[in-house]
Amino acid sequence: MKKFLLYFFAFVFICFLMPALLTKQDKPVNSEKIEENGSNSNTENEIKETREDGEYQYKNYGKIKLLHKKTGEIEEVDLDQYLCHVVSAEMPADYEIEALKAQAVVARTYTIYKVKNKKHENADICDDSTCCQAWISKEDRQARWEENKRESNWNKIEQCVKETKGKIITYQNEPINAFFHANSGGTTELPVNVWGGNAFPYLQVIQTAGEEGYRQYASEVAFSKEELIEKLKTKYEDIQINFENKEDIKILEYTDSNRVKTIKFGNHEISGVETRTLLGLKSANFEITQEGDKIKFKVKGYGHGVGMSQTGSNTMAKEGRNYEEIIHHFYTDVEIKEINSL
């Protein structure tokens, strides 16, 4: 009988009491491991770093140093407030919201690229569009809008910046050099054909439909023979053109986007980009005709043609595309990430 009871208690201990004791010991051990590994703690910290009352919180780049070119003043400004001034200067406020969102992300990306690749000694970026990107004060911007649209336009731009807060475009986890322009004339351009140097793999020749309906799509400039010579002489003092010889003004080569690559003006061969600058054309996508004393340049598109076309993005937004689809259309093999992930 004693043996039976001994075996019985041993059986109960092994089958029931021992697993219960082991289970109680496992819980605090696992809990300690979680804290050591930081799983719960890191998640909470990450939320605190990126969200506060629903707002995105920048770990870095939340403020930038802006150089005002005309005055030489350097001002430290909030990144997204700065972007409201940029977007309002760079894109019409009556464009579609998704196009304005795309512009906000592109402008933010361009800004961070400039911060990481400093051009100005004591500033991150300047307000000169020929150097960095355009910027306009809220007062000056609103003064150019109809009075009854001033607040709604500004609120719309602020909304687009806020709803894309922290978003940038990356290639291989680095911010891209996010070029943009007004109107591509239907096809974007390779940066190497505009500025030379190395190509950016994310900036390719892209076809874009629906840009013809914008005023930026087509323009025409006419010069007298004397005017043309004078403009070219600002760079080429020895320029000589025989206007009776049709071969003396001739496009010699086109880029892959059908822009003028090389053009002959008498005794000089000049790039299409330089011709655009010397003659004040809106694009390097042009045709030339001679009518009597006039040399006419029929131009397609507005801007250098590299990266996102603003009118193209607005057309896509009208078709129901969101800002991410617009960005992926104009920039090849890129990702849209949060700045805090860099």
Asked whether residue 204 falls in the same domain as residue 101, the answer is yes
Question: What pLDDT band is residue 6 in, cutting at 50, 70 and 90?
Answer: very low
Give me 142's structure tokens.
């609103």
137: its two tokens: 């004060």
Kindly state whether residue 187 falls inside one of the protein's structural domains.
Answer: yes
pLDDT given at position 44: 36
**What mean pLDDT is predicted for residues 238-265?**
96
Asked if 220 and 241 count as a contact pair (C-beta separation under 8 A), the reply is no
Exposure of 337 by Cβ count < 10 A (0-12 exposed, 13-18 middle, 19+ buried)?
middle
Residue 129 lies in a domain: yes
Q: State yes or no: pLDDT of 32 exceeds 70.
A: no
* DSSP label at residue 207: B
- Pick 55 or 33 by higher pLDDT: 55
- The owner of tokens 């051009």 is 119
Q: Between vectors from CA 318 to CA 314 and to CA 324, what angle results, nearest 5°?
A: 65
The predicted model gives 84-109 an average pLDDT of 98
Average pLDDT for 250-266: 97
Residue 159, domain member (yes or no): yes
Q: Of residues 17 and 141, which shows the higher confidence score?
A: 141
Global pTM value: 0.83
List the domain range (segments joined by +) for residue 273.
218-300
Q: Are residues 310 and 239 in the same domain?
A: no
Name the helix (H) or strand (E) containing 65. Answer: strand 63-68
For residues 241, 242, 244 and 246, what is the CA-based torsion angle, rounded to 10 degrees?
-60
- Is residue 12 domain-resident? no
Domain membership flag for residue 41: no
Tell me how far apart the terminal alpha carbons of the chain are, to the nearest angstrom. 74
Indicate the average pLDDT of the chain. 87
287 shares its domain with 149: no
Q: Are residues 233 and 319 in the same domain?
A: no
Q: What percent of the chain has pLDDT over 90?
A: 80
Judgement on whether residues 276 and 317 belong to the same structural domain of the protein: no
Segment 30-44 shows an average pLDDT of 30
Contact 182, 188 (CB under 8 A): no
Mean pLDDT of the 216-234 span: 97
Cα separation, 264 vs 241, in Å, equals 10
Q: Verify that 164 and 91 share a domain, yes or no.
A: yes
Same domain as 313, residue 176: yes
Residue 193 lies in a domain: yes
Residues 266 and 331 in one domain: no
Q: Kind and range of the H or E element at 180? A: strand 180-181
Mean pLDDT value of segment 239-251: 95
Q: Are residues 205 and 276 in the same domain?
A: no
Assigned domain for 57 exists: no
Residues 142 and 114 in one domain: yes
**C-beta neighbour count of 129 within 10 angstroms:** 13
Q: Give me the helices (H) in the chain, please.
A: 2-12, 18-37, 39-50, 79-90, 97-116, 138-143, 150-163, 192-195, 225-233, 272-279, 310-318, 323-330
Residue 237 is predicted with a pLDDT of 96
- Asked if 256 and 151 sit in the same domain, the reply is no
Q: What is the mean pLDDT of residues 289-306?
A: 95
Quick one: pLDDT at residue 36?
29
Examine residue 188 and state whether it is found in any structural domain, yes or no: yes
Shared-domain flag, residues 128 and 225: no
Residue 14 has pLDDT above 80, yes or no: no
Domain count for the chain, please give it. Answer: 2
